[in-house]
Amino acid sequence: MTRDKPIGVFDSGMGGLTVLSALRKALPAESYVYLGDTARLPYGTKSPGTVTRYGLRAAHALIEQNVKLLVVACNTASAVALPALKAAVSPIPVLGVVEPGAEAAVKATRSGHVAVIATEGTVRGNAYPRALKTLAPQIRVTQQACPLFVALAEEGWSEGEVARAAAHRYLEPLFSGRADDPDTLILGCTHFPLLHGVIQEVCSPAVAIVDSAATTAAQAARLVSGAEASQKGRATIRFLVTDAPERFARLGSLFLGESVAAADVALIDLPPLFHEGGGTA
C-alpha cells in the first residue's frame, strides 16, 4: 500500500470522528479524507436497504478521492452494508467497526456477559451478537437501542441532566445490580464515546466500557504498510459533508479532540448511483 494516497473514513455524521481520532494516533503520518453524510443522518433508524444505498454512494465518493483503504466508521453501515461495500470497492480493502468492537469486548469480559448499546438498525441486524459469538461461542449478549444518544452527541449535549436522564432510562434495565449483570459494555455506535462519562455513572465502575476506535485503528495499521515511517510527521485531513459544513466545523472538534478548521470542510452532494435510477433522497 502506498503512503501518498489518503485513507477514506465515513460515517453518517460526526461520530466517525472518534474513529478518525484513533486512526490519527495509530497512523499519524497518513492523510485522511473524512466523509460525514450529515444530510441523511441518522442512519440508525433507517432500513437496511436505505443504509446500504447511502453507504454505497458515500463509498463511491471516497473512491473518487483515490483512497487506499476505506474505514466504515459507522456501526449501522458496518452492521448492515459491509458485504455490499466490500464488493463495490474491491480490490480496495474495507474495514468495518463491528468486528473490532467485538474483539475489544471479548478481551475485556471476565464473566462472559456483554451488553451492547447501539442504534436501532445495529441492534435489529444482530451484527454484534454474531461477531461476538464467532469469537467466543459461549458468550451471552444483551442489546439495547439508544437512538437518543446520537442526537444528544450531535447537539453537543453529552453531559448534564438531559444526557444523564437518557442514560438512566436506557441503561438501568441492563445494570440493575443483579449478580448476572453484564461486566462489559460495548459502545456500538461511533457517537457514543462522547457520552462515556454519563454512561459510566449509570453502570457500576466495575463495568468495562469498550468501543471500536482503538481496535479498528490497530487493524488499519496492520493493513497500511510502512507504519515505521508514520512517526515522521502529520499529514492532512480533509472533511467532506453533505450538509451544514459550518456546524460540522463548530462541533466536530468535540468528537475529534482537535480543532476542525472551517476551511478544511467542503460541502458535497452524493447523487444516486447510476444503477439506482432516479430519485434524489
Catalytic residue annotation:
74, 189
33 phi and psi angles, rounded to 5 deg = -120, 120
Work out which of 38, 76, 109, 215 binds ligand DGL, going by CB under 6 A.
76
Which helix (H) or strand (E) element contains residue 84?
helix 75-89
**Taking CB positions, which residue lies at the least distance from ligand DGL?**
44
Strand 237-241 to strand 32-36: parallel, antiparallel, or no bridges (unpaired)? parallel
DSSP designation for 260:
-
End-to-end CA distance of the chain: 35
Smallest distance from the beta carbon of 232 to ligand DGL, in angstroms?
Answer: 31
* Amino acid (one-letter) located at 31: S
Residue list 136-155, contact with ligand DGL (CB under 6 A): 150
Grid-cell match 463495568, residue found: 207
183 versus 213: smaller Cβ distance to ligand DGL: 213
Which helix (H) or strand (E) element contains residue 87?
helix 75-89
Residue list 35-54, contact with ligand DGL (CB under 6 A): 41-44
42 versus 182: smaller Cβ distance to ligand DGL: 42
Smallest distance from the beta carbon of 165 to ligand DGL, in angstroms?
Answer: 20
67 versus 74: smaller Cβ distance to ligand DGL: 74
| Helix 161-171, helix 147-155: angle, nearest 10 | 160
Smallest distance from the beta carbon of 281 to ligand DGL, in angstroms?
Answer: 15
123 versus 141: smaller Cβ distance to ligand DGL: 123
**How many other CB atoms are there within 10 angstroms of residue 227's CB atom?**
15
Smallest distance from the beta carbon of 127 to ligand DGL, in angstroms?
Answer: 10
Residue list 171-210, contact with ligand DGL (CB under 6 A): 189-191
Question: Three cell numbers at 67?
Answer: 483512497
Burial 5-22 (b: 16+ CB within 10 A, else e): bbbbbbbbbbbbbbbbbb
User: CA dist 67 to 7, 55, 63, 84, 100, Å?
Assistant: 5, 15, 6, 18, 21
24 versus 191: smaller Cβ distance to ligand DGL: 191
User: Which range of residues in 8-16, 55-63, 176-184, 250-258 is near ligand DGL by CB under 6 A?
Assistant: 8-16
Smallest distance from the beta carbon of 122 to ligand DGL, in angstroms?
Answer: 6
Question: Three cell numbers at 61?
Answer: 465518493
Smallest distance from the beta carbon of 121 to ligand DGL, in angstroms?
Answer: 7
Work out which of 52, 109, 119, 216 binds ligand DGL, going by CB under 6 A.
119
Is residue 11 at the binding interface for ligand DGL, with CB under 6 A as the rule?
yes
3 versus 130: smaller Cβ distance to ligand DGL: 130
3-class secondary structure, 45: coil
Sites of contact with ligand DGL (CB under 6 A): 11-13, 15, 41-44, 74-76, 119, 122, 150, 189-191
